[in-house]
Structure 1
Amino acid sequence: MTTLDLKKHLIQRISEIEDTAFLEAIKTILDSKSQILHLTAEQRAEIKQSQEQIKQGLFINQDKLDEEFEKWASEN
């Protein structure tokens, strides 16, 4: 079965479904495959600010963070 044949077959089968919950499940699957992330202006600004902080070296890597956490946890 070619991709086109498969698409036609699925369209036909989906058009016959009356179960709303099942159709919602199919929609969820399709949405997750073609998910486009929509960011607000504030989210884009925060990402840009984070990128600038990384460029300036204002970050800590996971290993160092783990060490600091272990030290903090052992003191408390």
Structure 2
Amino acid sequence: MNGLISSTPSSSAIRLTVSGFLLMLIQSGLLLLSPALDRDSGMLIWILTPLSFCAFVAALIGIPEPARDQWRQHHGR
């Protein structure tokens, strides 16, 4: 997959970026709605933040996709 830095980013990279930012928005919304940050909310924030950061980094770098010929060899075509 071509990352966001390339001239032609793939749709997977764009989806990862959007989902990462969506997770960050959900986290921010939960913080804004919470009158006091309790232990459960803090745990949710610590789970969502690294996940959204990893999605953004994977979108920037790009994840290698398998070659099309590789799929044919596995299926015997």
TM-score (norm. length: structure 1) = 0.28
Q: Which has the higher contact order (CA 8 A, sep 6+)?
A: 2
TM-score (norm. length: structure 2) = 0.28
Please say which structure displays the higher CA radius of gyration.
Answer: 1
